[in-house]
Every structure is written in structure tokens, then in C-alpha cells.
Structure 1
Amino acid sequence: MRELLRTNDLVLVSAVEALLDGAGIGHLLLDQNMSVIEGSLGVLPRRLLVGDDDLAAAQRLLTEAGLGHELRHDR
């Protein structure tokens, strides 16, 4: 699996998950339960991962949706 994006923006996470679901691209959201440790401050970013084979399609989908600036190109 490869990291598609990392963000503290829960609305963005929800929107990207909806896009991926709509496109049939499986994904995994990590660090969503870290609020227990951080005290619900939203300081720790959530990471959204997709399969290696789906990475290019997921990046293209987010770029076409105007969210290309959120992508983690270095991962």
C-alpha cells in the first residue's frame, strides 16, 4: 500500500474516501483513532493509503477533482 494523502482535515478525508468509493478504489485510513491519544485536538494527521496497483488511478481521480495539491508525491 502507498500513502495517497496525509491531512488533519476530516472533511477532506471524507470527500476523498467518497471519491475513491465511487471509483471502486479500495483504501485504508490510518491514524483515525489517534484522537484518544491527542485529546481530540486534530493535531495528528490521518493517512489515506491505496494499493500499489491503484495509486496512479487514485492520483488521477484526485487531480481531476481539483485535489491534486493534496497528494503525497514523495511517498
Structure 2
Amino acid sequence: MKELLRTNDPVRLSFIASVLRDSSIESVVFDEHTSLLEGSIGALPRRLMVLDEDYDAAKRLLRDTGQDDS
């Protein structure tokens, strides 16, 4: 798996995961439950991961939706 993005914004994370799902690209959120350890302050970013073979298509989708940070 490859990291597609890292963010503290749960709304952005949900939006991008939805865009990927609509394009039949599976994603997994890593570090989602670390908020229990950090006291729910949102200081630790969550990572959105995709399969290696879906990474290029997922990056294109981020770019096409204006969500690419790079």
C-alpha cells in the first residue's frame, strides 16, 4: 500500500475517500483511532492509503478534483 495523502481534516479525508470509492478505488485510513490516545484534539494526521496498483489513478483523481497538495 502507498500513502496517498496525510491530513488532520476529517471532512477532506471523507470527501477524498468518497471520490475514490465512486471511481472503484479502495482506500484505507491509517491512524484513524489515534485520537483516542491523543485526547481527540486532532493533532495527529490520518493517512489515506491505496493499493500500489491504484496509486497513479488515485493521484490523477486528486489532481482532477483540486485536492492534490503537491
Q: Same fold (TM over 0.5)?
A: yes
Tell me the equivalent position of 1:43.
Answer: 43
Structure 2 counterpart SS, 1:33:
helix
1:27 Cα deviation from its structure 2 partner: 0.9
CA distance in 2, matches of 1:41, 1:67: 23
Rounded Cα–Cα distance in structure 1 between residues aligned with 2:68 and 2:12: 12
Could you say which residue in structure 2 is the equivalent of 1:12? 12
Distance (whole Å) between structure 2 residues aligned to residue 58 and residue 50 of structure 1:
8
Q: How large is the RMSD of aligned CA atoms in angstroms? A: 0.8
Gaps of 5+ in 1: none
Q: CA deviation at 1:68?
A: 1.3
Q: Secondary structure at the match of 1:55?
A: helix
Q: Which runs of 5+ in 2 are unaligned?
A: none
TM-score by length of 2: 0.96
Output the TM-score relative to the length of structure 1: 0.90
Query: In structure 2, what is the equivalent of residue 3 of structure 1?
Result: 3
Identical aligned residues as a percent = 46
Detail structure 1 runs of 4+ shifted over 4 Å in the superposition. Answer: none
